[in-house]
Each structure stands twice: as structure tokens, then as C-alpha cells.
Amino acid sequence: MKTKPLPIQEVKDFYTNEFYSVLESNIGYKYERLTECLLFTLQAKTGLRISDILELKYSNLIDKGLETYLELVLKKTKNTLTLPIDRIMLKMLQDYKEYCNLVFNVATSGNSSQERIFYNYKSNNGKIFSYMWCNKRINKLNNSGVLGKVYDNVGTHSIRKGLAEYLYTKKGLRTTQYLLGHKSMLTTEIYLELDKEQHLKDIKEALSI
């Protein structure tokens, strides 16, 4: 059964607001909650697969003039992808790093693996957060109803798919293909589940027929 998309704007707004609410609180599992908020906000703004996000390092953030970009090699396609990072996302990344430095003494640990953004500091085996953990967290969010309703067939791909569908309606197939890192436009069409009827509908709307 195919994973269904989540409403991208609702996801992005919820996690961005929740991040700073948690950061200023003393709730239990604060570190895990901050990680969840950062991870899924980043996915909602980049459309990256969870497998790529979990492997990200702070060195993947590249400053070019006054702009900051995320540059990485995608695990699945081996394509190099460059994506813009807005100021809100950059501030969240910086605040998360400062929090981890303060709570876990990262700056003095000397562990190079902790250059990874989603290194799990509470793990006994020094690993990053897992795919299974991410899947549980996004399903818990969905089941809570905070997105307006409970959606069917939700998984870690739901945010990526939601952003892809949103971008397609705004900027078309070529830009969506770039964001997703697909090698061919046909792959993007299949991913978006587009067919002839959808193309005819798009033409009618564009030409106001």
C-alpha cells in the first residue's frame, strides 16, 4: 500500500512552532522532541528522504555570499543536490547545535562522528537516530489529529510526497524533479501518480478552457 502525502504547510508550521515551544520548556524527553521537530521541519522544507536527512553533517551547509545552501550526494541516485536553506531553518539548526553542545558537552568530546546533525547523543553505540524511530514519530503526530484530521497510510515518505505535490502545483514538473533528485522526469511523474487525465486537467486550468 502506497504512502500517502501529508499537508505540507500544516506540518511545517506545527513543527517550526513546536521546536521553539519545546526549546523554552522543561518537558520530559526534550532532546528527542527537539530532534523530531528539527528533522521533520528540514524534510518539509527540502523534500529529502529520511535516509539522506539522517546522514547529514553540519559541513553539508555551505555559505555562498549571503545565502546558505545544503549540498549533498543522494544515497539512492548518487546525484549531487544543492538546495536553499532559509533563515528560519538555519536558525533552528544553529539553536539545536547550541543546545546539544550545552547539554552533552559536544565541543569537548572530540568525537568526529558527532559532526552529524542527527547523531544520537543518548545512544550507547554511537549511532544516529533510526528510520524506525522517525516512522513512529510521524505516525504519532498524524494520530494526534493536530494536522486537522488523521490521514491514512502515513510514513516517513509522507512529508516528502506532500512537498512534491505542493511544489508541482506551484512550479511544475521540472522543478519538482530537481527537488526530488530524480534522474528522469518519468520517475517524477510516476512518483506523483500523474496520468493522462491529470495532464489534461492541468492544461485546461492553465489555458482556462
Sequence-distant (6+) residues with CB within 8 A of 204 are none
What is the pLDDT confidence band of residue 196, given thresholds at 50, 70 and 90? low
CB atoms within 10 A of CB 117: 24
Q: Tens digits of per-residue pLDDT, 142-181? A: 999 999 999 999 999 999 999 999 999 999 999 999 999 9
Class of domain 8-207: mainly alpha
Sequence-distant (6+) residues with CB within 8 A of 80 are 71, 72, 73, 74
Q: Which residue has the cell 508550521?
A: 13
Q: pLDDT higher for 71 or 209?
A: 71
**pLDDT at residue 205, as a whole number:** 76
| Residue type, position 86, single letter | D
| Residue type, position 24, single letter | E
Average pLDDT, the chain: 91
* H helix or E strand, kind and range, residue 8: helix 8-23
CB 51 within 8 A of CB 62: no
* Pairing of the two strands 67-73 and 61-64: antiparallel
User: Cα angle vertex 193, ends 137, 11, to 5°?
Assistant: 30
What is the pLDDT confidence band of residue 126, given thresholds at 50, 70 and 90? low
pTM: predicted TM-score of the whole model, two decimal places: 0.89
* H helix or E strand, kind and range, residue 62: strand 61-64
> Does residue 28 have a pLDDT over 60?
yes
> Does residue 112 have a pLDDT over 60?
no
Q: Tens digits of per-residue pLDDT, 70-107? A: 999 999 999 999 999 999 999 999 999 999 999 988 76
3-class DSSP string for 139-199:
HHHHHHCCCCCCCCCCCCCHHHHHHHHHHHHHHCHHHHHHHHCCCCHHHHHHHCCCCHHHH
